[in-house]
């Protein structure tokens, strides 16, 4: 009896109301077709690609991507599965990423713009950095990193910088030396940066004094001090902090430099003018970078990406899906501090010798016409952004794009599901009904796109990411590991049956967590060396339509995708617990018209504590430990958390209440009376009639 009850409780506890479960299931839309002018110039127009990348040609099909690169030594084994699931791609090969993204283009494209930088203030001159200039700047920074900072191949370095050209230059300088960079999103707090310094074991932090955000200069140097203090409190000494200057002639920050520890990079560069640092020839499987991302536990995980596999994959997908040619002016409005920026601002476009545009600031600053003015002035013809940015630009300036002669041949969205309505606005107004639109589904872990329409070959269907990418073989499983076939109308957990070159290699310092997290759920045999036994569990819910188009519903775990940024609910909860008054905290995702999902926080207080100012303190604590992006919409103080008899917090119940849904059966709770009390305080006296509101919302796993 007791055992049966425990079992049931454990099951209930596992039932978090995840993002996927609160997803809105819009109806299937009809197709849109790319125009002939686009098809006429596209990189990928040969339908045989499906055959070429079919399973019978796996893994050799990926030679096509690897052959986009220049190898110092060509590889001998395409895929080594002997240490599954630690896949090794292009084994025996050697190459350098900086060489591939810069040096090899000098002959043909030396005088072509590699990076065009647009500062936030509209009256400040931008920078156009040619491939020749990029080459020199990368070499000089590499000289500083090697000769001044003492960084060597295999060392890790943390980079906490805003969107300025010095960021990709620093990354490429690391890549030139085989130094593993770990770029932390500039908007993350100093503490969050410190935690990542510790995990990666970085002795050097590269930062910047300040940058513009909505017209104000942010003091970013202050974050470096907090990061170093946090790292040192956890035993990781930071020997040197290299600080870039935002303004050439003065510091942008009032925070003083620490004697003997902090150095201005712009000064360090002076003795290295004209330095040439030979690119270090790296094995294909050497790590190129770490990118920390949130998972189900409180600690962010360092996704380790490889040199040869990763670069091949981002070059291949940039070419096939974003249709990048060396003559294109490409603008991805993401931040380099996320995987999108790594793969599709820096490495993919530069590997293909494109011109990549970087914008420092907020898209709606000083008004909603800003992105369109930038695009017209620079002649941008490929545009890449997130549904959140689209929703925001549509809300504040629905008619702005019409005022500008935008001329995009193709446009991409990434990071979240896009509502058909937002998609149509994007297509009609921004793309002028001419641009091919791709909705790309992927993750920090996947390195590059894994699902998207091929723009000249597959019609677009608003609201659906589309078919799998060439060489990616997905499958949707139910909780028990039974396949949910395409066309069944049911949602399940999307997995990818095979490895691909862009997949992460491991979680830095925690290989067991890597195996458990991504393969534990559906692995068929833990000792197998056959890739077929190792489906990759993506952590997303999805449905697969009869036409082969996949629709991603959202996360099925404790991760919330806020405005396209991934946050772990456990991270937010531990931040709440740093407030002395708080006894318990639960964070749940709620649907938000603009930001997709936002976190809502429930807290209970320790006995005798006053609620005075608690919501503000909780918000502040989240901002300090994680960053402003994680700020909750509401902090609700409750008398007690709904709990199972074994004392576990039932987040599912709280999430239902916050999302105006019925909370379902609560008879097994130890304190069911508190649930109705919470419900009334959030939803009001009137009971919500339906299970999940309007007809078009269905519960996860239900037939659509
Ligand atoms: C979500 C961002 C729907 C998904 C590249 C995934 C998407 C998480 C899409 C990864 C899309 C990404 N449609 N959902 N086109 N693209 N997602 O690691 O839940 O920051 O698991 O990588 O974003 O977020 P991450």
Bridge pairing between strands 88-91 and 77-80: antiparallel
Tell me how far apart the alpha carbons of residues 422 and 394 are, in angstroms, rounded to a whole number: 8
Identify the residue whose tokens are 């609620």. Answer: 611
Return the residue whose CA atom lies nearest to atom 22 of ligand 1.
443
Cα 657 to averaged position of ligand 1 atoms, centre (Å):
25
pLDDT higher at 167 or 688? 167
φ/ψ of 634, rounded to 5, equals -140, 145
What's the mean pLDDT in 153-163?
A: 98
φ/ψ of 547, rounded to 5, equals -80, 5
343 contacts 314 by C-beta, under 8 angstroms? yes
φ/ψ of 432, rounded to 5, equals 55, 30
**DSSP per-residue letters across 211-263:** EEETTEEEE-HHHHHHHHHHHHHTT----EEEEE-SBTTB-S--SPPPTTTEE
Return the residue whose CA atom lies nearest to atom 23 of ligand 1.
415
Cα 449 to averaged position of ligand 1 atoms, centre (Å):
10
Please write down the HEC assignment for all residues of 428-444: HHHCCCCCEEEEEECCH
Can you give the pLDDT at residue 20?
84
DSSP 645: T
Can you give the pLDDT at residue 646?
84
Tell me how far apart the alpha carbons of residues 382 and 385 are, in angstroms, rounded to a whole number: 10
19 contacts 555 by C-beta, under 8 angstroms? yes
* Nearest CA-CA partner of 569 in 485, 489, 645, 658: 658
Identify the residue whose tokens are 């997303």. Answer: 540
Considering only CA atoms, give the Rg of the chain: 25
Sheet holding 262-264, edge to edge: 262-264, 240-244, 204-208, 156-161, 180-185, 287-293, 301-306, 506-507
Cα 459 to averaged position of ligand 1 atoms, centre (Å):
21
**DSSP per-residue letters across 386-401:** -HHHHHHHHHH-TTGG
CA 64 to chain centre: 26
Pocket-testing residue among 415, 465, 550, 554, ligand 1, by greatest number of atoms within 8 A of Cβ:
415
Can you give the pLDDT at residue 8?
52
Is 694 a residue whose pLDDT tops 50?
no
pLDDT higher at 378 or 690? 378
Is 702 a residue whose pLDDT tops 50?
no
On average, the pLDDT of the chain sits at 94
Task: Give the pocket of ligand 1 (CB within 6 Å).
Answer: 293, 338-340, 414-417, 439-444, 465, 539-540, 552, 554-555, 561, 566
Cα 416 to averaged position of ligand 1 atoms, centre (Å):
5
User: pLDDT digits over 462-506, tens only?
Assistant: 999 999 999 999 999 999 999 999 999 899 999 999 999 999 999
Can you give the pLDDT at residue 688?
65
CA 116 to chain centre: 23
What's the mean pLDDT in 176-190?
A: 98
Mean pLDDT is lowest, of 26-30, 210-214, 610-614, for: 26-30
Closest atom, ligand 1, to C-alpha of 451: 15
Tell me how far apart the alpha carbons of residues 33 and 44 are, in angstroms, rounded to a whole number: 15
Tokens of 591: 């649907």
User: pLDDT digits over 380-415, tens only?
Assistant: 999 999 999 999 999 999 999 999 999 999 999 999
Find all residues with CB under 8 Å of 569, minimum gap 6, and list them. Answer: 558, 559, 560, 587, 588, 589, 599, 651
Tell me how far apart the alpha carbons of residues 336 and 344 are, in angstroms, rounded to a whole number: 9
């Amino acid at each position: 009896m007791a055992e049966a009850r425990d079992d049931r409780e454990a099951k209930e506890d596992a039932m978090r109301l995840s993002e996927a479960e609160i997803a809105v299931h819009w109806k299937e839309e009809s197709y849109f077709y790319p125009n002939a002018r686009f098809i006429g110039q596209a990189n990928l127009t040969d339908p045989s690609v499906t055959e070429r990348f079919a399973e019978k040609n796996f893994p050799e099909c990926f030679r096509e991507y690897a052959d986009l690169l220049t190898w110092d030594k060509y590889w001998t084994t395409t895929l080594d599965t002997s240490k599954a699931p630690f896949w090794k791609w292009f084994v025996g090969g050697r190459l350098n990423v900086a060489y591939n993204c810069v040096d090899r283009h000098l002959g043909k494209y030396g005088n072509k713009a590699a990076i065009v930088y647009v500062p936030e203030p509209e009256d400040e001159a931008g920078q156009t950095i040619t491939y020749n200039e990029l080459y020199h700047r990368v070499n000089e920074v590499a000289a500083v990193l090697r000769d001044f900072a003492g960084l060597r191949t295999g060392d890790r370095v943390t980079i906490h910088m805003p969107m300025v050209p010095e960021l990709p230059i620093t990354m490429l300088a690391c890549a030139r030396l085989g130094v593993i960079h770990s770029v932390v999103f500039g908007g993350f707090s100093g503490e969050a940066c410190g935690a990542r310094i510790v995990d990666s074991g970085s002795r050097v932090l590269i930062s910047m004094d300040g940058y513009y955000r909505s017209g104000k200069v942010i003091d970013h140097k202050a974050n470096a001090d907090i990061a170093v203090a946090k790292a040192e409190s956890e035993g990781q000494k930071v020997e040197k902090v290299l600080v870039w200057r935002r303004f050439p002639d003065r510091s942008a920050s009032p925070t003083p430099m620490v004697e003997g520890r902090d150095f201005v990079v712009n000064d360090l560069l002076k003795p290295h003018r004209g330095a040439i640092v030979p690119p270090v020839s790296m094995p294909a499987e050497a790590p190129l970078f770490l990118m920390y991302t949130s998972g189900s536990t409180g600690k962010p995980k360092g996704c380790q990406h490889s040199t040869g596999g990763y670069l091949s994959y981002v070059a291949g997908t940039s070419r096939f899906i974003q249709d990048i040619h060396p003559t294109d002016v490409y603008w991805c409005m993401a931040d380099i501090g996320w995987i999108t920026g790594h793969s599709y601002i820096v490495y993919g476009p530069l590997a293909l010798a494109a011109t990549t545009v970087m914008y420092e600031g907020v898209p709606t600053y000083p008004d909603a016409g800003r992105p369109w003015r930038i695009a017209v002035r620079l002649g941008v013809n490929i545009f890449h952004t997130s549904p959140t940015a689209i929703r925001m630009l549509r809300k504040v300036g629905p008619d702005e794009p019409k005022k500008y002669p935008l001329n995009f041949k193709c446009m991409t969205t990434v990071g979240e599901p896009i509502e058909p309505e937002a998609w149509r606005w994007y297509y009609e107004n921004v793309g002028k009904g001419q641009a091919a639109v791709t909705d790309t589904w992927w993750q920090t872990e996947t390195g590059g796109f894994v699902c998207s329409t091929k723009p000249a070959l597959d019609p677009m269907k608003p609201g659906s990411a589309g078919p799998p990418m060439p060489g990616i073989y997905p499958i949707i499983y139910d909780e028990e590991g039974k396949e949910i076939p395409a066309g069944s109308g049911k949602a399940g957990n999307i997995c990818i049956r095979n490895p691909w070159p862009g997949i992460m290699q491991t979680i830095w310092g925690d290989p067991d967590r890597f195996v458990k997290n991504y393969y534990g759920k559906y692995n068929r045999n833990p000792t197998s060396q056959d890739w077929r036994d190792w489906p990759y569990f993506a952590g997303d819910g999805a449905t697969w339509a009869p036409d082969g188009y996949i629709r991603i519903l959202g996360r099925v775990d404790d991760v919330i995708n806020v405005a396209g940024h991934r946050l772990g609910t456990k991270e937010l909860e531990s931040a709440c617990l740093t407030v002395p008054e708080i006894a318990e905290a639960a964070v749940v995702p709620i649907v938000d018209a603009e930001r997709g999902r936002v976190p809502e926080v429930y807290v209970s207080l320790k006995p005798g504590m006053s609620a005075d100012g608690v919501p503000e303190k909780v918000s502040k604590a989240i901002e300090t430990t994680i960053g402003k992006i994680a700020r909750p919409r509401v902090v609700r103080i409750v008398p007690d958390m709904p709990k199972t008899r074994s004392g576990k917090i039932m987040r599912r119940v709280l999430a239902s209440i916050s999302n105006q849904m019925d909370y379902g059966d609560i008879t097994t709770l130890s304190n069911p009376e508190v649930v109705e009390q919470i419900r009334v305080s959030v939803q009001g006296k009137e009971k919500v009639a339906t299970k999940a509101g309007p007809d078009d919302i269905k519960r996860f796993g239900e037939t659509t």
